Chains A and B, each alone.
Chain A
């Protein structure tokens, strides 16, 4: 029972001061922060996974043979033979034009028509995507090909330089997850303090109720109902604000037209988690209140 049913006449036993204390507001703030941290965690975890998948099976072969004609021949031959291997999904030669354009951004001419840049000997690059996860074996096999077709060329696995980025993003996701847990603990602490304060405030009433034969269960339901309703208001408010913030961020990231599409990048599971959190919070608050109240009442005869 999250919000216990209490007869109307019994509800009057607690004077009606709904939303008067700080509890709903503190809960609202904690809920909002929890949802934002959870959204950040889900988003980061998903991009870490995306990067991880993209780089796990990809290497670039860099051919630096000095003679440009020989270099081009080696590159073409290697690309052809690599593409023919069963463990290779695709092998693609990076166009010299594409390389120039990339480097041109550093040289100050986006088209790559800078004279200095034109005079630079650029290496030939071949991107190879493997099939399956046994990257080390594939690299060994590719190394044999490279030795035959383009001696002296280097094989650069993408995981080597993008891996640390993916790991950083993943550890940020873990930090976000830890924040969600800590805020759940803080919320439970707020509920415990609220329940204890309520018992203190109404001690005389509780003593009286005990003496005329009220059970702990009856008294607990009375208080649990009030606390559950107050925290539910706070949770609803915090959820609304968090939803507004998330939509705003998504909208800013991706421009006016595809705002909703961008926020959908949290994925179905991500949105499911975000929707489940407020409901879990309401249940957690009610159960915490209930346990606190029962434990405290046991100390009174």
Chain B
């Protein structure tokens, strides 16, 4: 669709994808013609069959991957041409829960959770409290000094989520964040995301879990099918209104 500058360009979108394509190496594109806008303070579920490209899309969202073509804007700035040295500043505003956790194996649960704060230069006396609070909230206060390898899959996942949210990111990106926890814990974690969302964080959760999706009424759906965004109503590209 041709905007030509006169179209209904949504103001203040947190994330804008326009005609984005992604290929790994010389292979065919795994994502094609992806266009959508994410509004500040909204909650999105990203669904799609395994291999549809969810993780690939999220990688561009959390700046682990530049698109092969198209335009990606984050917080109003063009990411495709952004120089490398400006990326860390943007990444500190994004929290990520990786599908494979990516905890640092030789650090304790406490140090893993504290990592984003330390990287951001928060002083030790200022971060001890929030980290302890977060540990109790995910029910791992007693295991604070445990290494990831000695934690169960679900416990590791909770540490990964705590690390993603500890610095109060403006954008939270979670890739299958409840794949390894029981339904009760899944609901608890979803509650955490919702609470953050209410505080203003834009949340994007990739999941297969239908129960999860049905729990949040205000959430919007994004669906990937074989590398293309299914957006029959166009609502993702031209949101009806800003919902804060």
Contacts and interface: CB of A to CB of B under 8 A. Distances in A.
Contacts of B104: 13, 204-205, 208
A208 B106 CA distance: 13
Nearest to A10: B118
B149 interface: no
B159 to A, nearest CB: 13
Contacts of A207: 102
A9 B119 contact: no
A285 B91 CA distance: 32
B114 interface: yes
A133 interface: no
A204 B119 contact: no
Contacts of A213: 88-92, 116, 119-120
Contacts of B62: 211
Contacts of A208: 102, 104
Given A212-B119, A213-B119, A301-B84, A13 B107 contact: yes
A301 B64 contact: yes
B225 interface: no
Interface string A189-220: 00000000000000011011111111110100
A301 B63 contact: yes
A104 B39 CA distance: 108
A51 B164 CA distance: 74
A9 B106 contact: no
A6 to B, nearest CB: 11
Interface size class of A (residues with CB under 8 A): 20 to 34
Contacts of B66: 301
B124 A9 contact: yes
B85 A215 contact: yes
A301 B87 contact: yes
A219 to B, nearest CB: 10
A10 B120 CA distance: 12
B107 A211 contact: no
A20 to B, nearest CB: 14
A13 B119 CA distance: 11
Nearest to B163: A212
A207 B59 CA distance: 13
Interface string B98-116: 0000101011000100111
Chain B facing A: main interface SS: helix
Contacts of B65: 301
Contacts of B91: 210-213
Interface in A7-52: 7, 9-10, 12-13, 15
A283 B119 CA distance: 27
A79 B89 CA distance: 89
Contacts of B116: 212-213
Contact of A12 (B102, B107, B119): B107
A215 B88 CA distance: 6
Contacts of A204: 102, 104
Contacts of B111: 9, 12
Nearest to B91: A213
Given A12-B107, A205-B104, A208-B102, A214 B87 contact: no
From B63, B104, B116, B120, residue with most partner A Cβ within 10 Å: B104
Contacts of B85: 215-216
Interface in A213-261: 213-216, 218
Contacts of B114: 9
A9 B126 CA distance: 14
B204 interface: no
B92 A211 contact: no
A216 B107 CA distance: 20
B102 to A, nearest CB: 5
A207 B107 CA distance: 15
A173 B102 CA distance: 56
A215 B63 CA distance: 14
A211 B64 contact: yes
Nearest to B92: A213
Nearest to B95: A212
B123 to A, nearest CB: 10
Contacts of A205: 104
B63 A218 contact: no
B106 A15 contact: yes
B84 A218 contact: no
A133 B198 CA distance: 93
Contacts of B118: 7, 9-10
Interface of B: 62-66, 84-85, 87-92, 96, 102, 104, 106-107, 111, 114-116, 118-120, 124, 163
13 contacts: A12-B111, A204-B104, A205-B104, A209-B115, A211-B64, A212-B91, A212-B115, A212-B116, A212-B163, A213-B90, A213-B116, A214-B88, A215-B85
Given A12-B107, A215-B85, 13 more contacts: A9-B114, A9-B118, A12-B106, A12-B111, A204-B104, A205-B104, A209-B119, A210-B88, A211-B96, A212-B96, A212-B116, A214-B119, A215-B88
